[in-house]
Structure 1
Amino acid sequence: MARQLDEQIIGRFPVGQRLRVLDVGMGQGTQSLRLARAGHQVTGVEQDSTMISVARRSLAAEPEGIRGRVRIVESDGRDTGVHFLPGSFDVVLCHGVLMYVEEPDALLAGLARMLAPGGLLSLLVRNADALAMRPGLAGDWAGTLTAFDTTTYTNRLGLDVRADGLDTLTGTLAGIGAPLHAWYGVRVFTDTAADDAAVPDDVDALLAAEERAGRTDPYRRVAALLHLCGVRG
């Protein structure tokens, strides 16, 4: 997914431009730090105090120049208008957040307002159109049949959360002034891998296969996650 995001950034902004990035739901700060290392000014938003502590520790280990490019704000992302002026960012990331938001439209509209004209909105969501894949591949046939008729599921943390469909989000993005520009599938072949699985010897081939499938129909449509990129008009 990082490669997909970089591809969209390179395609939209002049090479070498230092972008203003808002990372909503920054978690441990992996993506924020990666972008700060690339020279961008990053504001990370996170509500979980444990995650913030981990992110701060990781940031403290970075050189001073990188530390100076990262700001962390404690928030759930729904009050961006309180913290920032409209049009303050060139790129807004919202990765792995929407599944925890019961009614995401207001959040997305707020994030779109944070974008400068031509800015990029990057979303990573659970694919509602492929919820039956995980239980099906695991041989859970009762769970598979249930998954066909719902947009909710239990995640690996044991929490009941929701998924988003491509068509629905396409309509939402158009309605908030950041219409869909590109989309990808994420975790087409590897969704059932254990979180603590060892890195395989042929990891480069695995990543190449995932990258190819994430761009190719019909494979990307059954990915566990969708990566959508909208552009502010």
Structure 2
Amino acid sequence: MARQLDEQIAGRFPVGRRLRVLDVGMGRGTQALRLARAGHQVTGIEKDTAMLSAARAALCAEPEGIRERVRLIEGDGRDTGVHFLPGSFDVVLCHGVLMYVDDPDPLLAGLARMLAPGGLLSLLVRNADALAMRPGLSGDWQTTLAAFDSTTYRNRLGLDGRADRLEALTATLAGIAAPLHAWYGVQVFTDTAADEEPPPDDPTALLAAEERAGRTEPYRAVAALLHLCGVRG
């Protein structure tokens, strides 16, 4: 997914421009630090104190030049209007967050307001149109049948989540003046891999297959996750 995001950034902004990035629900800060290393000014918001502590520890291990480009805030992504003025960012990331928000529309509208004109909104969501794939490939037929008409699921950690449909999110993005520009599938072939299964010694072929499938019909439509990129009008 990092390659997809970099591709969208490169296609929208001049080479070498230092972007203002907001990472909502940044977790351990992996994406935020990666973008800071690339020269961008990054603000990360995270409400989970354990995740925020991990992000701060990772940031402390970075060189001073990178540390000074990152600001970390403890807070909820639905409160961006409290912290920032509209149009404050060129790129807003919201990866792996919407599945834990009952009503995502207010959150998305708030994130769109944070974007400057022409800014990029990057979302990573659970694909409701593919919820039957994991239990089906695992032979859990009762769960498979129930998943066809559902937008809820239970993840491997035992947490209940909510999935989104591409059609509905496309309409939402159009309604908040950040219409869909591009979308990709994520975890097309690897979603059923066991958590304890070690990665291959050379993941080159695996990554290439996932990258190709994430851009290609019909494979991307049945990916476990969807990566959507909207652009502020």
TM-score higher than 0.5 here? yes
CA distance in 2, matches of 1:156, 1:41: 34
Q: Are 2:90 and 1:90 aligned?
A: yes
Report the TM-score when normalising by structure 2.
Answer: 0.99
Q: Which amino acid aligns with 2:98?
A: L
Q: Are 2:116 and 1:116 aligned?
A: yes
CA distance in 1, matches of 2:82, 2:203: 43
Q: Which amino acid aligns with 2:163?
A: A
Equivalent residues in 2 for 1:75-154, closer than 5 Å: 75-154=75-154
**What SS does structure 2 have at the residue aligned with 1:178?**
coil
CA distance in 1, matches of 2:27, 2:20: 19
CA distance in 2, matches of 1:157, 1:43: 28
CA distance in 2, matches of 1:98, 1:196: 26
CA distance in 2, matches of 1:28, 1:93: 14
The corresponding residue for 2:228 is: 228
Equivalent residues in 2 for 1:42-81, closer than 5 Å: 42-81=42-81
| Count of residues paired in the alignment | 233
Most deviating of 119-128 and 192-201: 192-201
Q: How big is the shift at 1:194?
A: 1.9
CA distance in 2, matches of 1:77, 1:3: 24
What is the percentage of aligned positions where both structures have the same residue?
A: 82
The corresponding residue for 2:218 is: 218
Q: Are 2:198 and 1:187 aligned?
A: no
CA distance in 2, matches of 1:228, 1:189: 19
Q: How big is the shift at 1:211?
A: 0.2
Unaligned runs of 5+ in 2: none
Q: Residues 143-182 of structure 1: CA distance to partner in whole angstroms, max 9, x if unpaired?
A: 1000001100001221111000000000000000000000
Q: Residues 86-112 of structure 1: CA distance to partner in whole angstroms, max 9, x if unpaired?
A: 000000000000000000000000000
**What SS does structure 1 have at the residue aligned with 2:112?**
helix
Q: Which amino acid aligns with 2:80?
A: T
Q: Which amino acid aligns with 1:114?
A: M
The corresponding residue for 1:11 is: 11
Q: How big is the shift at 1:196?
A: 2.9
CA distance in 1, matches of 2:45, 2:139: 38
Report the TM-score when normalising by structure 1.
Answer: 0.99
The corresponding residue for 1:37 is: 37
Aligned structure 1 segments of 4 or more residues deviating by more than 2 angstroms? none
CA distance in 2, matches of 1:75, 1:43: 12
CA distance in 1, matches of 2:196, 2:95: 21
Q: Residues 83-142 of structure 1: CA distance to partner in whole angstroms, max 9, x if unpaired?
A: 000000000000000000000000000000000000000000000000000000111001
Q: How big is the shift at 1:202?
A: 4.0
Equivalent residues in 2 for 1:167-206, closer than 5 Å: 167-206=167-206
Q: How big is the shift at 1:76?
A: 1.5
Q: Residues 44-99 of structure 1: CA distance to partner in whole angstroms, max 9, x if unpaired?
A: 00000000000000000000000000001111100100000000000000000000
Q: How big is the shift at 1:199?
A: 1.4
**What SS does structure 1 have at the residue aligned with 2:43?**
strand
CA distance in 2, matches of 1:156, 1:23: 24
